[in-house]
Amino acid sequence: MRDAYRIAVFAAAAALGTLPTVGRAQRTVEVTLLSNSIELDTHRVRSGRVTLDVTNSADNKMMHELVVLKTDIADSALPVRNAHVLEQKLRKIGEVEDVAPGKSKRVTFRLTSGRYVLICNKPGHYAAGMRTVLVVAP
Ligand SMILES: [Cu+2]
């Protein structure tokens, strides 16, 4: 009787999504946009629905963005013209546009296994170092 009650409570909590996701691999990445870099709290996640929690902490007080590209090209060697990475020459998964200074935006993409390069493609920001790599494991 007691066990049945416990199972019922457990099931209700699970349905409400209030239980901690014990044993599940990390699928949320904290992304910090800085003036000359992009920092991630992890560079490796499992495939599936991956949430990017993007915060603009750059001290240059500029608007930044995060563009997600799937590519095996080194993050420092993407094709560039007129201070922009040529996104149309790459496989673009999506982006988080215009994150204001001090603000955060959150986005979820379904990512298959492979190598991704994350950049800010505001003019000159990629060249300034706003780029990093995220590896998605199977
Ligand atoms: Cu930027």
Condensed to tens digits (0 to 9), the pLDDT of residues 81-123 reads 999 999 999 999 999 999 999 999 999 999 999 999 999 999 9
Q: Provide the mean pLDDT of the chain.
A: 88
Q: How large is the greatest C-alpha to C-alpha distance in the chain, in angstroms?
A: 71
Q: Report CA(107)–ligand 1 centroid distance (Å).
A: 17
What CA–CA distance (Å, rounded) separates 113 from 50? 11
Q: What is the pLDDT of residues 47-68, one digit of tens each?
A: 999 999 999 999 999 999 999 9
What CA–CA distance (Å, rounded) separates 131 from 66? 9
Phi, psi angles (nearest 5°) of residue 14? -65, -40
Mean pLDDT of 18-22: 47
Q: Report CA(74)–ligand 1 centroid distance (Å).
A: 19
* Between 16 and 39, residue with greater pLDDT: 39
Q: Report CA(23)–ligand 1 centroid distance (Å).
A: 35
What's the sign of the alpha-carbon dihedral 21, 97, 76, 89?
positive
By CB atoms closer than 10 A (0-12, 13-18, 19+), residue 101 is middle
Fold of domain 25-137: Immunoglobulin-like (2.60.40)
Q: Which amino acid is at 126?
A: Y
Residues with CB under 5 A from ligand 1 (ion): 64, 120, 122, 125, 130
- pLDDT computed for residue 106 by the predictor: 96
Q: Report CA(100)–ligand 1 centroid distance (Å).
A: 10
pLDDT category, 21, cuts 50, 70, 90? very low
Q: Report CA(22)–ligand 1 centroid distance (Å).
A: 35
